[in-house]
Each structure stands twice: as structure tokens, then as C-alpha cells.
Amino acid sequence: MFLIGENLNVMSKKLAEAFLNRDAGPIEAMARAEVEAGMDMIDLNIGPARKTGPDFMGWLVSVVQGVTDLPLSLDTSNVEAIEAGLKAAKKRPLINSISARPERIEALMPLAQKYNAPFIGLTLSAEGIPRDANERGLCAAEIMAAAAGYGIPEEDIWIDPIVLPVNTQQMQVQGCTEFMMMMPDLAPAGKSTCGLSNVSNGVPSHLRGVMNRTYLVMLKRYGLYSAIVDAFDEKLIAIARDREPELEALIHSVMDGADIDVPGLSKENADYVKTARVLMGQTLYSDSWLDI
């Protein structure tokens, strides 16, 4: 699986000051650490960046490129900042992202075309976030059709079905898994990706890892091509790199409805089984889902 490191982002408490003061040191250190962790690409998430976006993205791209040759993902809703990143990048960067909203398509697809850059197509339309896998499929089809109109090849489109937090949107979680099954028919040459950590947003922080890892196994089973992930979750990286076949087999058996003797499992494996059941909507989410 192709892994995009999420850790260079404006929400980061650790990097807030460095971002504010344009202090390159901590940002270079984080980029190096993501490379060390085995990422294939680094996401540069500067948020909406309304005022100083273009200048800031240009600066950030130069700083990160100073310490690594990895390709970059330009993560902002500011169109001018995306273009500044496209201009500054040495390697073909990924535009993160273009939704199915007409004004976003009209503003960003010409840039993807001009700079010959791949982009993440976010399944979000004028009506908002889709409610199920079929609505996600419709959104994806709109994005693909629009891109074809700009002559953008299908293999440069990375569809993101928008992962939502399990604690408030539990019924939406399966929408993304089901969407992954539809991808080969929808876009045989297209790619898929998602912001994996979204699933555990708002979940007690010490429990986010088990949630993220279990969901990754589920999405991976249906062919997820890529994910934006916490570069420093070693077990998660091991799953993505096919180094946890036993854990994958356990979670697959839950997905297949196997009758599992949970009390007979190790605490760690029991946690994964309980988490898979929450993600499948079989157990109602609560912050204490592992204790019941």
C-alpha cells in the first residue's frame, strides 16, 4: 500500500509554533522522521490558510524538499496555495484535494492539467457528504467525468470516499468499506486513498491506534490503494506492508461472521475483534467499547 504521512499538519500541537514562526528546524526534523518511518509521500496540510496560504505553501514545500526527495501532497482548500505548491515542487506533487463541487472543479482541474499533476478526488458534492456507498460512487463518477473533460488520465485520479469519525458517524463507516468494493468497476485504472485517522477523531487518544489499524485491515481487504496515515504507528505500517498476516486473518474472520471465542483470545486480539465489530456496526460505539 502507498503511504502518505499525515504528521506535517497545522493541527499538530508539536509543530504549531514552528508553523506560526516559520521555523524550519522542527519541520525538517518531522519530514526526516516521516522518511525514516518509511512513508512514500508526505502530506503538507496547511488547512484553509486564507491569508498567507500561497506564500506559506511555497515556503513549506522548499523546506521539506531540502531534506527529502519524497513526493509531496499539497493539502489545502486554498487554490492559490495549491498553485504555489505546484510551482515550488520539484517532483510531481499530488493535489489534495478536488471535490465534486462545480466551483472546485472549475478552479482546480485546470491546474491539474497545466501542471500535469495527479489529484485526490473527494466524494463531496454541492449536497454535502454522501450518506452511503452509492452516493459516494455517484460523486466519484462526476469527478471522473469532469477530469476526462480536462484530458486528465484516470490513473492520475485518487478517489477519497471521506472517512468519518466512528464516535459520531458509526453508520457511515461501512459506507467507505463498501465503496472500496465498487472502485474496480467505477474506475479500473483509478486509485483510492483516504484520511485513515479521521475514523478515530474524538476517540480517547490511547485507543486511536487500535481503531485506525482495524479499519486499515478492513479497507485493505477491499483493495484500498493508498492511505494518509500517522507515520509513527509502527504496527499500522507493518499491516500496510503485509507484515501482520495473522492479525489480518483474525479481522477478516470477524468480517466473515465467524463465531469467535473472544474470552479465549489474548487481550490484544480480543481488542481487535471488539473493534472490528464496532466498525462493522454490530456493536454500538462508546468510549469504553473495549471494556464490554
Site of interaction with ligand THG (CB under 6 A): 6, 9, 11-14, 45, 75, 96-97, 120, 122, 160, 163, 194-195, 197-198, 201, 228
Pick 65 or 193: Cβ nearer ligand THG: 193
φ, ψ of residue 46 to 5 degrees: the values are -105, 10
CB of 227 to ligand THG, least distance (A): 9
Of 65 and 97, nearer to ligand THG (C-beta) is 97
Which residue, 157 or 254, is less far from ligand THG as judged by CB? 157
**Cβ proximity to ligand THG, 100 vs 254, nearer residue:** 100
Order the strands of the 41-47 sheet from edge to edge.
Answer: 191-192, 157-160, 119-122, 94-99, 72-76, 41-47, 2-5, 226-229
Q: Supply the angle between the helices 79-88 and 53-65 in degrees, to the nearest 10.
A: 30
Give me the least distance between CB of 58 and ligand THG, in Å please.
Answer: 19
CB contact at 8 A, 137 and 182: yes
2: nearest Cα among 237, 173, 235: 237
d(CA 66, CA 188): 36
Nearest approach, Cβ of residue 196 and ligand THG (Å): 8
Residues in Cβ contact with 241 at an 8 Å cutoff, skipping those fewer than 6 apart: 1, 38
d(CA 25, CA 31): 10
- What secondary structure letter does DSSP report for 131? S
Q: Considering the complex, what minimum distance in angstroms separates the CB of residue 179 from ligand THG?
A: 13
Of 32 and 243, the one with the shorter C-beta distance to ligand THG is: 32
Minimal distance, residue 145 CB to ligand THG, in Å: 20
Least Å from the CB of residue 146 to ligand THG: 17
- Asked whether 73 and 268 are in contact (CB, 8 A), the reply is no
120 vs 239, beta carbon nearer ligand THG: 120
State which residue, 13 or 206, has the beta carbon closest to ligand THG.
13
In whole angstroms, what is the distance from residue 189 CA to residue 194 CA?
A: 17
Residue whose entry in the numeric block shows the C-alpha cell 505548491: 85
- Please name the residues in contact with 174: beta carbons below 8 A apart, sequence gap of 6 or more: 133, 279, 280, 281
Closest residue by Cα to residue 212 from 232, 226, 229, 231? 229
CB of 189 to ligand THG, least distance (A): 19
Q: Is the bond preceding 97 in cis, omega lying within 30 degrees of 0?
A: yes
Which is closer to ligand THG, CB of 208 or CB of 252? 208
